[in-house]
Structures are given as C-alpha cells and as structure tokens.
Chain A
Amino acid sequence: MSENGPLGAAEKVLSSAHRHGHGLREVNEKLADLVSSLRDQKERLARYSPAGAPPASGGPAEAPPGTGAPARPLGAELALAREAMELARREHEEIRERLAEIQEANRRLCEEYAALQDQNSDLVNLYVAVQRLYGAADRADVLAAIQEIVANLVGSEELAVFELSGDGNRLVPAHAFGVEPPDPREIAVGSGTVGRVAAEGVAFVADEADAAARPDPPHLTACIPLELGGRVRGALAIYGLLGHKSSLGSLDRELLALLQKHAARALRASALGERTEAGLGEGAWSG
C-alpha cells in the first residue's frame, strides 16, 4: 500500500482515529474515576454532615419517625444523654445544697424567734412587776404586789418581808405568806442568812451559794436586801418553791433584782402617800 494513495490517507485517518479513540477512552476512564471519587466524597460528606456524626460502632440510629430528619448515630445519642444526665446531676446537687442552706437558715430563724419570744415573755413579766409595784395605792397594796410577784411570777408561796427597825439593828416582819407561825420572827441584823443579807447588802440565792454555806434557816431559797438610796431598808425572804418548780431561773433572778432595787422605793412612795393623806408619822420606808 502506498503511503500517498487513498489507502494511505485512509490508514492515516484510521490511525489518527485510533489514537484519538484511545485518548478518548483514557479520558473517559479518568472521568469515570473522577465521578467515582466524587461519589465517595459525597458519601463521606453526607456522613459528617451536621445532622450526624461518624458512628463509633454500629450503624446510624433511626431517624424519628415522620420527621424526615437524618438519622443520629447511637454514639452521639449516648454522648448527649450522658451530658444531659451530668447536667441534671449538677442541678440536683445545687438544689440539694440550696435546700440545706435554706433549712439551716430556717432552723436559725426558728431558734431566734423562740429566743425572742422568751425574751419578750421575760420583759412582760418585768414590766408587769414594775407596774404592780408603782401602781399600788397604799402600803398594803405594795406588800400584796410583792407577794403576787413572788407567787405568780417567781413561783413561791412561802415568803416574808422584813423592815429594818428604826435603830437599824433588827429586821421586823412586815408581811408574810405561807409561813407557819411563830415564823417569821424578828431577826437581829447579821444573824442567820437573812440577817447577814441585811447587814452586807448582798443577795443570797441557795443555788448559787457555796455548798458549805448552808442557809439559815435551811429551807431558805433566796433572800434579797431591799435597797433605797444606797442603803438596805429591809429584806425579802423566799422559802420553799412551788412543788412543780425545781429551782430559780434567769427570769426569777431578774425579778429578784428588780424587787431589790424597787420594792423599798415603792413602799416608801406608798408611805409618803399615806402620810400626806392621813398625816401619819414616818415609817421605815421614809427618809
């Protein structure tokens, strides 16, 4: 076959076509590889899309029925559930701590409220005691007030009020309640517990006294000096307490301190009032 004849030309065309065909086949194959690679890439991208995460194990979780949402992998569901549980546990712990704080605050408030109620109660008793002493119309009324305060607020129905005699050497009974005769008797100042209280001006309370210093008389629970103008003018002796009362408390001591400072003044005020009204002579509570 001649290279320049029509056959030669055809062979050239065929050869050229063959070369082009081969090139096209190669291009086609490369395109097929590219398309395959793109499909793989697309699938990987689909798996890593925001709607899901790569599965740790197993396949993807089923999408909620009817939502049409992409399936969520089980591992992601588990991680989310764990995170939610941890959050709930922390919130629960915080609530428990807050509740404990509130309970503690509530307990403190209850204690403070109870203490305030007790304090209020004590103040009422002290207020009423003062009102009774200074609201009394006369000497007998003041003595009755002292008796009522001791009986109803302190808790003793055995008591005696003594006045200092004019010469200052004796304690003379002015009023008694629940004390069997011949008591109360006149007492020399300095003699026995009541006499010593009058001499020294220091209150005696059996609960506070030295165990070796037994009261005289032995059933004396407390004895206070009745003071006026810095001087002892008498004494109040309290013997047995009511059966259901075992000892003197803090309020009782406050009431005794109040009587120590104010009973003599109230008696003097009543004496002055009576003297003014009746023109009687001075007694132990005047001057």
Chain B
Amino acid sequence: MNDQPESLNGFAAGAPGGSKPGAAGARRKILIVDDSETVLLVERAFLSRSYDVVTARNGQEGVDKAVAERPDLILMDVVMPRLNGFDAVSRLRSHPATKRIPVIMVTTRGELDNVESGYRSGCNDYLTKPFHGPELLAKVKGCLGE
C-alpha cells in the first residue's frame, strides 16, 4: 500500500475538512484491515483526504498494528488469513490498549448470522461490500462522532 500513487489519496474523500482533529490538532487515524488489495485501495481513496490511514493485510497484523498505532477507528474485514475479523475484534476488545477503539466490520458476508457474529465479537457497526463511498464515510463519521 505504501507505493500507492499520491494522486489517489483523498481522490474521493467527502466534504473537505470533514475530520475533526483529535488531541493536539492531529488528524484522526484509521486502521484498515483487509487482505484484498482492491479493498485497501478503495477505502484509502475515500478516507485519506480527511484521515491518516494505516493498513494491515490479515487479522493478526491488524491486532498488532492496532496496539502499536492506537488508531481512532478500525475497518475490519471478516474473511482473512491467519486470524479472521471476528476473532481479531475479540482480541482487540480484550486488550486494554484497544478495547475502546470503535470497529466497523466491512465484509461481503451480509447474512444475518454473520452480522450477529460481528456484533457479538464487539464491533460497533457493520458495512457490507460492495459499498458506496458516501456510505462508508457516513459510517466512519458516525463512529467517530463527527
């Protein structure tokens, strides 16, 4: 993801200045956890104008980066290698440093039992793929209280 062309960053972000700065005026940070390069590119494109974005390619890496980066919000895929999204969220909730970070599940699994599993694991919201950019931004802003 680091070699992504700069031109794509923030290409599709919503209204300018949409992010409310956190402490010390810093931009808020969002961690995207997904094993799909396509999804990482799309989500980064929508979010990077207003937020700092970090990425992880599987559930375990997502948990590790959440502890290290302390993001303000996590977008979590479900079906991933090493550790799936449900288990990753459960681990985040049991870790003192990450238990309060809001998590949005972003997945192709839209079936009711999957949605319920997501909420049981501790996620705050649920978004099914494919999604519209404005829909993603609305969920993100909602979780961040913007």
User: A interface vs B, CB < 8 Å?
Assistant: 114, 117-118, 120-121, 123-125, 127-129, 131-132, 145, 148-149, 151-155, 157, 242-245
Contacts and interface: CB of A to CB of B under 8 A. Distances in A.
B42 A155 contact: no
A76 to B, nearest CB: 57
Interface of B: 5, 8, 11-12, 14, 36-39, 41-42, 45-46, 108, 110-111, 128-130, 132-134
A126 to B, nearest CB: 11
A124 B7 CA distance: 11
B134 A114 contact: yes
A145 B38 contact: yes
B12 to A, nearest CB: 4
A244 B12 contact: no
B38 A148 contact: yes
B108 A153 contact: no
Given A131-B8, A132-B38, A244-B128, A121 B134 contact: yes
A124 B36 contact: no
Given A123-B11, A127-B11, 16 more contacts: A117-B14, A118-B134, A121-B12, A124-B46, A131-B5, A131-B8, A132-B37, A132-B38, A145-B38, A148-B36, A148-B39, A151-B129, A152-B38, A152-B42, A153-B42, A243-B110
A244 B128 CA distance: 8
A117 B111 CA distance: 27
Contacts of A152: 36, 38-39, 42, 108, 129-130
A136 to B, nearest CB: 9
Nearest to A245: B130
Contacts of A125: 42, 130
Given A148-B38, A152-B39, A127 B8 contact: yes
Interface centre among A118, A145, A155 (most CB of B within 10 A): A155
B115 to A, nearest CB: 10
A148 B37 contact: yes
Given A128-B45, A148-B36, A120 B133 contact: yes
Nearest to B38: A148
A124 B45 contact: yes
A155 B11 contact: no
Nearest to A114: B134
Contact of A128 (B41, B132, B134): B41
The 3 closest A-B pairs by CB, nearest first: A121-B133, A244-B110, A148-B38
21 contacts: A117-B133, A117-B134, A121-B46, A125-B42, A127-B11, A128-B8, A128-B42, A128-B45, A129-B38, A131-B41, A132-B37, A132-B41, A145-B38, A148-B36, A148-B37, A151-B108, A152-B38, A152-B42, A152-B108, A152-B130, A242-B108
Contacts of B132: 118, 121
Nearest to A242: B108
Contact of A120 (B12, B37, B110, B129): B12
A154 B132 CA distance: 11
A120 B129 CA distance: 17
Contacts of B5: 131
Contacts of A127: 8, 11, 45
A124 B110 contact: no
B37 A124 contact: no
A131 B36 CA distance: 13
B130 A124 contact: no
Contacts of A245: 130
Contacts of B8: 127-128, 131
A117 B12 CA distance: 8
Nearest to A145: B38
